[in-house]
Amino acid sequence: MTSAAPRLPALLEALGQRAPRGMELGLGRVREALSALGDPHEALPAVHVAGTNGKGSVCAMVESIAREAGLRTGLYTSPHLSRFAERIRVGGEMISDAALERALAAALERVPSPLTFFEALTVAAFVAFREADVDLAILEVGLGGRLDATNVISAPLCTAITSIALDHQAVLGPTLADIAREKAGILKAGAPAVLGPLDPEADAAIEAAAQAIGAGPRLRVAPAERGGRAGEITVGRGGRGAGAARVAGPGRREIEVELGLRGAHQAENAGVACGVAWQLAGRWPEVERALAGGLAAARWPGRLERIDAGGARVLLDCAHNPHGAQALAAWLDEEGPGAALTTLVFGAMADKGWGEMLQVLAPRARRRLYVTPKGRAAAPLDALRGVAPGEAIGDPRAAVARAIEAAAPGELVVVAGSIYLVGEVRSALLGIVADPVVTL
């Protein structure tokens, strides 16, 4: 830590001590805390993004576009891969130790009731954004939407819901419609909303919620080959390379852009990001002109991220549910070296659909090494071997080291199954001294 933030280690320790409380959904404590701090979230120009998968990528794209346009941006995401400060970024960079110290001191010491870990970081983000005088804050929902701590924003410039899939059913409900209704809680009267490709059941639930509160116009992302309909953003693969995408919106000509984020699924995320950017362009016209540059410059660590290590190629992907595993499998089929030259290092949280994930990924690797990610309870190694044969190693770093050492020329080592697994491996490969893993 820097000498400019002598209290930061103690504040981070105090923050970490709140993690065992878990996530307690509700807005009362956060609103009370923000009120005590002068409501730093009020009048903050903000974009609010929810979704089962893709919300982090969309946030990264929107932030990059806005920064390309010359705006001073704030970005709040979760969880972190290595450092707590990754969750709060200003101008594309993690906030400084000194700024984090000030923000955490406010959230932990100057509020009337003890906040949970996630609530405290959310409050700290709003404090940091006010201090930095950001032009635009991009906020990623932590869990669900309706009762998530970020949902204290009452008048966002735009909202977005990237995708709906079965995840966190114990908290959000057992059906797609239940989950969609929870995520639709971020919609606000008069605020435009951009929706990624959704199952009809989820789309109907969100549309009903939008009509009930008088949400602003809805834009929906759809495949270009279907043909554009009213209120649709069409997306398709571009012709200039694997990372190119074509996007067209209502009243706007089609543009072809090169995406900084890998994977065919990122075209849909780019469609959502473009829809958000077009709404922001009504306030800042330069945002529309920054679309191509911002999408090309966007980075989101741990998502189809390649790292060269010991002569081997390592691919890190935070696929942590079946929907994410399917996107990774699609990339491996299209751009990977083939199953004969792929080793999979896999570990997952016990409460995720790890069996379905492994059924999708296992056939795409000649060798499988099973590990136990840090954090809450992980899927048992023997259970993973019961789905697909593999070697139970346990320690992620040891497994990756073994995979790298044994890699044949041209082989790809894929690390996937848990965000926390990817964070641990990425920190080790890049020599980053990591903060503790917190599964919130």
pLDDT tens string 113-124:
899 999 999 999
Sequence-ordered alpha helix ranges (H) in 69-135: 97-109, 117-132
Rounded-to-integer distance, Cα 410 and Cα 424, Å: 24
Whole-angstrom Cα Rg for the chain = 21
Per-residue confidence band for 227, with pLDDT thresholds at 50, 70 and 90: low
328 or 241: which carries more pLDDT confidence?
328
Rounded-to-integer distance, Cα 88 and Cα 104, Å: 11
Instruction: Please report, as a single letter, which amino acid is at residue 386.
Output: G
Whether the pLDDT of residue 374 is over 70: the answer is yes
Rounded-to-integer distance, Cα 405 and Cα 314, Å: 12
In whole angstroms, how far apart are CA 367 and each of 42, 294, 350? Answer: 52, 38, 22
Whether the pLDDT of residue 343 is over 90: the answer is yes
SS3 346: strand
CB 34 within 8 A of CB 152: yes
Per-residue confidence band for 3, with pLDDT thresholds at 50, 70 and 90: low
Rounded-to-integer distance, Cα 181 and Cα 179, Å: 5
Over residues 156-173, the mean pLDDT reads: 90
CB 30 within 8 A of CB 123: yes
**Matching residue, tokens 């971020």:** 186
Take residue 246 and report the two structure tokens written for it.
Answer: 């074509």
Take residue 218 and report the two structure tokens written for it.
Answer: 């809805």
Whether the pLDDT of residue 229 is over 90: the answer is no
Residues for the chain: how many in total? 440
Q: How do strand 255-258 and strand 244-248 relate by DSSP bridges? A: antiparallel
Rounded-to-integer distance, Cα 391 and Cα 384, Å: 10
Per-residue confidence band for 1, with pLDDT thresholds at 50, 70 and 90: very low
The mean pLDDT value of the chain amounts to 93
Over residues 11-18, the mean pLDDT reads: 91
Rounded-to-integer distance, Cα 388 and Cα 366, Å: 11
Half-sphere exposure of 213 (CA within 13 A, CB side): 22
pLDDT in tens, 46-59: 999 999 999 999 99
HEC profile of 299-315: CCCCCCEEEEECCEEEE
Exposed, middle or buried by CB within 10 Å (0-12, 13-18, 19+), for 237? middle
**pLDDT value, residue 241:** 65
Under CATH, what is the fold of the domain 8-297? Answer: UDP-N-acetylmuramoyl-L-alanine:D-glutamate ligase (3.40.1190)
pLDDT in tens, 22-31: 888 899 999 9
Whether the pLDDT of residue 171 is over 90: the answer is no
Q: How many CB atoms lie within 10 A of CB 409?
A: 7
Type and span of the H or E element at 356: helix 354-361
HEC profile of 152-184: HCCCCCEEEECCCCCCCHHHHCCCHHHHHHHHH
Task: Please list, residue by residue across 269-302, b when 16 or more beta carbons sit within 10 angstroms of its beta carbon and e when fewer do.
Answer: bbbbbbbbbbbbbeebeebbebbebbbebbebbb
Domain with CATH 3.40.1190.10 in the chain: 8-297
pLDDT in tens, 261-292: 999 889 999 999 999 999 999 999 999 999 99
Domain with CATH 3.90.190.20 in the chain: 305-430
Question: Order of strands across the sheet with 244-248?
Answer: 93-94, 88-90, 73-76, 136-140, 46-50, 158-161, 193-195, 218-223, 232-237, 244-248, 255-258
The sign of the torsion formed by the CA atoms of 71, 77, 83, 88 equals: positive
Over residues 403-409, the mean pLDDT reads: 94
CATH class of the domain defined by 305-430: alpha beta
Rounded-to-integer distance, Cα 266 and Cα 271, Å: 8
SS3 195: strand
Per-residue confidence band for 243, with pLDDT thresholds at 50, 70 and 90: confident
**pLDDT value, residue 59:** 98
Whether the pLDDT of residue 152 is over 60: the answer is yes
CB 117 within 8 A of CB 20: no
Quick one: what percent of the chain has pLDDT higher than 90? Answer: 82
Type and span of the H or E element at 18: none
Per-residue confidence band for 219, with pLDDT thresholds at 50, 70 and 90: very high
Q: How many CB atoms lie within 10 A of CB 408?
A: 11
Whether the pLDDT of residue 12 is over 60: the answer is yes
Per-residue confidence band for 312, with pLDDT thresholds at 50, 70 and 90: confident
Q: How do strand 342-346 and strand 412-416 relate by DSSP bridges? A: parallel
Whether the pLDDT of residue 242 is over 90: the answer is no
Task: Please list, residue by residue across 315-345, b when 16 or more beta carbons sit within 10 angstroms of its beta carbon and e when fewer do.
Answer: bbbbbbbbbbbbbbbebbeeebeeeebbbbb
**pLDDT value, residue 4:** 75
Rounded-to-integer distance, Cα 243 and Cα 196, Å: 19
Whether the pLDDT of residue 167 is over 90: the answer is no
In whole angstroms, how far apart are CA 385 and each of 47, 317, 359, 390? Answer: 42, 21, 11, 6
